[in-house]
Amino acid sequence: MKTGFIAATAVVSIFAVTSMMLIVPANADNQENNSRSVAMKTLGKNMKTIGRAVKSGNITPDLQARAEEIKEISGRLISLFPKGQELPDSRAKPEIWSDAAGFKKSNDKFTLAANALVAALKTGDAGASKSALKATGKNCGGCHKAYRLPKK
Ligand code: HEC
């Protein structure tokens, strides 16, 4: 009895999953909810939080997790731009793919800055953290300037 029920449940679940895959196409990602957008917005939030803290001089230990997250995202940023999978309404410049080496170089610089930010926050020094944050922000802007289209 029990096995029969489990088997029936399994069949129903497989059917449900398969039909969902048919209804929701693989490229149903849009500009609002795709992993690239989520990651970039997370970068923005973390930068803002750390920015407020360094301004007030109140360097709290929880900021390290924010910096670690920036560093973690920088480590997978390139993979958020898979070739040939452009998203609707994306502001990604074609140069990301035609100048992949330059894009990677820009992100390498960002990663170095993010590492330095993690290190600076660990020291708890507000001044050092402030300059490390500024340097990190410069790299956000540098990449955006070169590889992000202006607002439509
Ligand atoms: C190596 C390149 C690169 C770096 C470094 C980078 N970005 Fe971006 N970012 C982009 C590109 C390209 C886009 C446009 C993506 C699109 O529209 O598909 C973007 C988009 C964004 C967006 C808009 C996301 C949305 O969907 O609304 C925000 C916010 C953002 N970035 C914040 C940041 C912040 C903050 C940093 C630094 C802490 C940063 N980015 C670092 C390349 C980069």
Q: To test the ligand 1 pocket, which listed residue (29, 31, 35, 40) has its Cβ within 8 A of the most ligand atoms?
A: 40
What tens-digit pLDDT sequence spans the chain (152 residues)?
455 665 665 555 555 544 444 444 444 456 566 899 999 999 999 999 999 999 999 999 899 999 999 999 999 999 999 987 778 889 999 999 999 999 999 999 999 999 999 999 999 999 999 999 999 999 999 999 999 999 97
| Residues whose CB falls within 8 Å of the CB of residue 89, separated by 6 or more in sequence, listed in order | 30, 31, 152
Q: What is the dihedral of CA 39, 40, 42, 43, to 10 degrees?
A: 120
Q: What is the pTM of this model?
A: 0.84
Ligand 1 near 109 CB (within 6 A): no
Q: Give the pLDDT confidence score for residue 7 in this predicted structure.
A: 61
| Residues whose CB falls within 8 Å of the CB of residue 11, separated by 6 or more in sequence, listed in order | none
Q: Give the pLDDT confidence score for residue 24 in this predicted structure.
A: 44
Residue nearest to atom 9 of ligand 1 (CA): 144
Ligand 1 near 44 CB (within 6 A): yes
Ligand 1 near 110 CB (within 6 A): yes
Determine the atom of ligand 1 nearest the C-alpha atom of 104.
1
Class of domain 30-147: mainly alpha
Give 41-91 as a DSSP string: HHHHHHHHHHHHHHHHT---TTHHHHHHHHHHHHHHTGGGS-TT-PPTT--
Residue nearest to atom 25 of ligand 1 (CA): 37
